[in-house]
Structure formats: C-alpha cells, structure tokens
Amino acid sequence: MDVTERDALIAVDIQVDFLEGGALGVAEGSRILPIVNRLMPLFRHVALTRDWHPPDHLSFTENPAYRDRSWPAHCVQSTPGAGFAPGLLIPTHAFTVSKGTHVDREEYSSFQAMEADLTGWLRARGVVRVFLAGLATDYCVRFTALDAARQGFQVCVIEDAVRGVAPQTVEEAWHEMGAAGVRRIHSRELLHGPAGARSDAMPAGVD
C-alpha cells in the first residue's frame, strides 16, 4: 500500500497521561511509539490530536455532574501529563488538534474539537484517505475513525499502532468501525523498508 500526497496520518492522543503509569494509562501504550515514529516520515500531512482539559472538566471523577461516565483527572492543560509522549517524533509542520477544551463538553472524536477544524484542514490539502494511530482504540481512535468515515474520508486504522482500554470495548470498537467501512491494516502494509526520521521532526518535550 503506497502513501500519496492525498493521504494523512492522524496520531490520536499519544500523551503522557495515556501511557503506562499515567493518570489514565493504557496498557502497552508506549509500545506504539516506535511504530508511529516509523510511520511519520511517510506522510506529508500529519495531524496530532490531544486531550487538553480544564482542571474542572465535566468528565473527571471529581465533577459530580458527570459521575455516571467519569474518568480520573487527566491531560489537564499545560501539565506534564498533557504533553505528547517523550520520544514521539513530531514533524514541525504537524497540525495540532486540542479537544475537550471546554469544561462542559466531552469530545472523544478529533473531528468534534471546537477550537480546530480538522475536516477543513484535511480538505484544504486535498486529503481523501486518513490513517489512524494512537490511544485508545475503544475511545478516541474509535470515534475519530467513525467521524472521518461520516465526513466521506477513506479510513484505515493501523492495528499495531493502537492500544485500547479493555478487551471487550476494543472488540466492540473494531466491529463498529468495520461496519462503518473503516479498514483495519497492519503497519507492514505501509512500511516497505527502513524509514528514517524526517529532518523536520523532533522528539516531544525537546525545545
């Protein structure tokens, strides 16, 4: 499978708080980093999404308004846990999508972010197909993939470049995405040979 200028990589929420030991850590989350770093140089268009929550976001356990579906506080704006994973090679031209930025709004899908127009950014660059990697398969990857399909993009989720929260919901996510026309692929279908880091990439957390 060849990557063209009409393709984009969307790296979903590869943040400190979603790695092992983080506030909302996903098991084996850090294992996707080498794969994502090898994928980055293949794409001219790269979007990195992130949870970027205010301290009193409605999805946090401490907030009684959302107690039925709450999470531990995570990815609070401008805290270390909200940073991109150390060692993640980020192209300088990457488009950053911050979501969940308002206290009263949850946004699992990167296409629902109020402060970034991911659809418009992709369309302006002539993108017709998107490839997804990141965390977590059963939440933000899932809903981003479903919305991408609804927007008319061809969608591929790279199975070895994602990790999920729980086996049952991961299985449900793959089923739902497949029913929506999302393709499940392996990184080896894209990586035909060794790929070096592009010259305009730098590790997250390095100035």
In the set 99, 138, 147, 156, the catalytic residue is 99
Residue 85 has φ and ψ, to the nearest 5°, of: -55, 135
Residue 42 has φ and ψ, to the nearest 5°, of: -75, -20
Is residue 20 within 8 A of residue 142, CB to CB? The reply is no
In the set 13, 17, 138, 147, the catalytic residue is 13
Alpha carbons 200 and 167: distance in angstroms, whole number: 37
CB-side neighbour CA atoms (13 Å) of 103: 7
Is the peptide bond preceding residue 197 cis, with omega within 30 degrees of 0? no
In the set 51, 140, 147, 156, the catalytic residue is 140
Instruction: Specify whether 99 is catalytic.
Output: yes
Residues 6+ apart with CB under 8 A from 99: 49, 50, 51, 52, 107, 109, 110, 112, 113, 114, 116
Residues 6+ apart with CB under 8 A from 56: 62, 63, 103
Instruction: Specify whether 156 is catalytic.
Output: no
Instruction: Specify whether 68 is catalytic.
Output: no
Alpha carbons 122 and 130: distance in angstroms, whole number: 9
The set of catalytic residues is 13, 99, 140
